[in-house]
Copies of this chain bind each other. A is one copy, B any other.
Amino acid sequence: MGTTGAITDASLRAFVGYDMKRAFNALQADLSRTLTPFGLRMMTFSALSLVVENPGLRPSQLATVLTIERANLVVIVDELEQRGLLTRTPSTTDRRAHALHVTDQGQSLFAKANRAVAEHDARMIAGVAQHLQPQLKDALRQIENSAKQDVV
């Protein structure tokens, strides 16, 4: 077919998950282009941001906040450490744990990248009516909670 009628995704459009998938994929691909000049990816930028905001953070805490597994965080911290953007130092109180701190270089790169990401994010949400923007964020957080508490 394709000759007779127009193609439709009306059935899938009934699902908010489908709209979320499309929106997130497009946003994520575009965000990657924004972060590439800084040598960062979505997850390395996010991790860097959290260490800037929470100096001394432990990797396990970072993984929890990012809602990813500890195992997946290791390579992210490895990469940031190897690039000299943050340091991994032994904890003074718990010899199992590490403390994460940004370096001056990491702070500087983050400041620039954060500006670019803020501008990018503003462009992404610009088409949404201003009074709906906080409601959009609330709705997304509500959906996250619904998904996590869904047992069925």
Contact = CB atoms under 8 A, between A and B. Distances in A.
**In the assembly, how many copies of this chain are there?**
2
Interface stretch (A20-28, A70-78, A82-90): A20-28
B147 A23 contact: yes
10 contacts: A11-B53, A11-B114, A20-B27, A21-B28, A26-B143, A26-B147, A27-B143, A123-B146, A123-B150, A124-B146
Interface of A: 1-3, 5, 7-31, 34, 42, 46, 49-50, 52-58, 61, 64-65, 67, 93, 99, 114, 117-121, 123-128, 132-133, 135-137, 139-148, 150, 152
A141 B23 contact: yes
A50 to B, nearest CB: 6
A28 to B, nearest CB: 7
Given A11-B49, A21-B28, A124 B140 contact: no
Contacts of A142: 127-128
Contacts of A10: 53
A146 B133 contact: no
Contacts of A128: 139, 142-143
Given A11-B53, A15-B121, A27-B147, 20 more contacts: A1-B57, A3-B93, A7-B57, A7-B65, A8-B53, A10-B53, A11-B49, A11-B52, A14-B121, A16-B137, A16-B140, A17-B27, A18-B46, A19-B144, A21-B28, A30-B147, A30-B148, A123-B146, A128-B143, A135-B136
